[in-house]
Amino acid sequence: MKLSNELFFAQVESLLSTGEEVEILVKGHSMTPLMLSGKDVAILRSATDADIKVGAVVLFRYRGAHVLHRIEKIEGDRITFAGDGNYKIKEVATRQDIVAVMVAVKRSSGRRVECSGKSWRWQSRAWLTLPAFARRVILGIRRRLIA
C-alpha cells in the first residue's frame, strides 16, 4: 500500500506533537553529500525556539510540501533554508512553518550520528565552508561517479 505524502506527513506531525521521535527515510539529493537518498534516515523531534538557529536541519512546510533542509539565515520571523546539495535554490518560510528539528542521522549501517556531536558538526562546517563553486564541482563529480 502506498501512502500519499499528505497523509504520511500528517501522521509524522501527529507523532511529533506527542513528543515522539520520528524516523523518516531521506528521499532526494538536496542534502547530499551529508545525507544520502534512500540510505540515510533522519531522526526528528518537535522543534523548540532554541532549536531554530542557523545551521540546524529542520523539517518545514513549504508550498504544500514538507522539506528537510538547513537553516541558512534568520531575519525575525522570516527564515531562509537551503539544502546542502543545493547551491542556488533557497526556500523562505516562517517559524510557524517549522515542524521538527533533526536530532540525528541513522546511516545505512545502523550507526546513529547525533547532530549535536563533533562528527556531524565538523562535517557540516567543512562542507558549508567550501565556496559554492567548489561544492558544485564536487557534487558534479560525485554524480558522474555514481551514475
* Residue 144 pLDDT grade (very low, low, confident, very high; cuts 50, 70, 90): confident
Q: What is the pLDDT of residue 125?
A: 94
Percent of the chain with pLDDT over 90: 84
Hey, which bits of the chain come out as E strands?
A: 22-25, 41-46, 57-62, 65-75, 78-82, 91-94, 98-106, 112-114
Q: What is the pLDDT of residue 147?
A: 64
Cα 59 → chain centroid = 6
Select the more confidently predicted residue: 102 or 146: 102
Judge whether 91 and 81 are in contact, CB under 8 Å: yes
Percent of the chain with pLDDT over 70: 99
Q: What is each CA distance from 8 to 12, 37, 57, 121, in whole angstroms?
A: 6, 18, 20, 29
52-109 pLDDT tens trace: 999 999 999 999 999 999 999 999 999 999 999 987 889 999 999 999 999 999 999 9
Mean pLDDT confidence for 113-139: 93
Q: What does the block give as the cell for 108? A: 545505512
Hey, which residues does 59 pair with through a beta bridge? 68, 100
Q: What is the DSSP code (8-state) at residue 2?
A: P
Q: Is 1's pLDDT higher than 80?
A: no
pTM (two decimals): 0.92
